[in-house]
Structure 1
């Protein structure tokens, strides 16, 4: 038994994660983060964690929120492009730092572009997305064409 769908095995715990996800998204919106940026953060965290299920899900969600194919195409190398605003760059760098648990923290994202509320919101988005990635990968969520 290599894969067990942990969400189905313990649905109450899964629902708690879903509630935490909703709270993190609400905090992000309240902090003034655009829906496209919220999806970019989720997608970038999923890329770093290698979660195919969440990459596909949040690519689709980003497109539905109005994101462009060009920006999604360069997201893995966002820092080399001129597609992203100062706020988006800071949020993506922060999400990467939270995901990778850089020790000591690089704080290269701390350009002043994000408010303390936004720093907290992006951090929570990255933490929760990392948890979702682990649920999907551990459970063996299928990603077929």
Structure 2
């Protein structure tokens, strides 16, 4: 399989500036609503893992590190159910992320919804759901156009 980019991120944002601006505006609305940035970055990473989006993985790893997400949580995210290091709130949000990313018959089940709704107030749940929808949109754009991953963020204090 060829992995050459079909279009780069910067080309996409230049060709479709309204689309890119709309998706960034949705991210800003969620950020402004007050959901914890470390949590939303974990969710974006998990959806991007599932969708196989190298661009979004690197992009959100950079943001997660900058937001102070523990390295262990980043390292063990693919196995979050078995890791024993995620809070109940994080676990509920990760389960909701997987349900909405792997949409299929009854994937957003009553049990998954009940678990997430015990950890998040209705407004938080609405914004959490918008976060997941938004990263899935970005994943589908970036995977289909094969955006090249951005450079990894340099550790603090690195030259």
Q: Which TM-score tier does this pair reach, normalised by the shorter chain?
A: 0.7 to 0.9
Whole-angstrom CA distance in 2 between matches of 1:57 and 1:13 = 18
- Counterpart Cα distance in 1 of 2:120 and 2:92: 7
In our comparison, the structure showing a higher alpha carbon Rg is 2
Unaligned runs of 5+ residues in structure 1 are none
Aligned residues: 140
Q: Give the RMSD, CA atoms, in angstroms.
A: 1.9
Q: Work out whether 1:126 is the aligned partner of 2:132.
A: yes
Q: Secondary structure at the match of 1:103?
A: coil
Q: Provide runs of 4+ in structure 1 moved above 4 Å.
A: none
Structure 1 length normalisation: TM-score? 0.85
1:70 aligned onto 2:82: no
Aligned partner of residue 63 in structure 1, secondary structure:
helix
Shift of 1:144: 7.1
Q: CA deviation at 1:77?
A: 1.0
Q: Could you list the per-position Cα deviations for residues 29-88 of structure 1 after superposition, in whole angstroms to 9, with x for gaps in the alignment?
A: 1xxx32210110111111111100110111121111111111111101101121111111
Secondary structure of residue in 2 paired with 1:84: coil
**Are the equivalent residues in 2 in contact too, given 1:24–1:124 (CA < 8 A)?**
yes
- What's the TM-score, normalizing by structure 2? 0.78
Mapped contact 1:90–1:113 kept (Cα < 8 A): yes
Which structure 2 residues correspond to residues 31-110 of structure 1 after superposition, within 5 A?
A: 33-104=35-106, 105-109=108-112, 110=114
Question: Which residues of structure 2 form unaligned runs of 5+?
Answer: 152-159
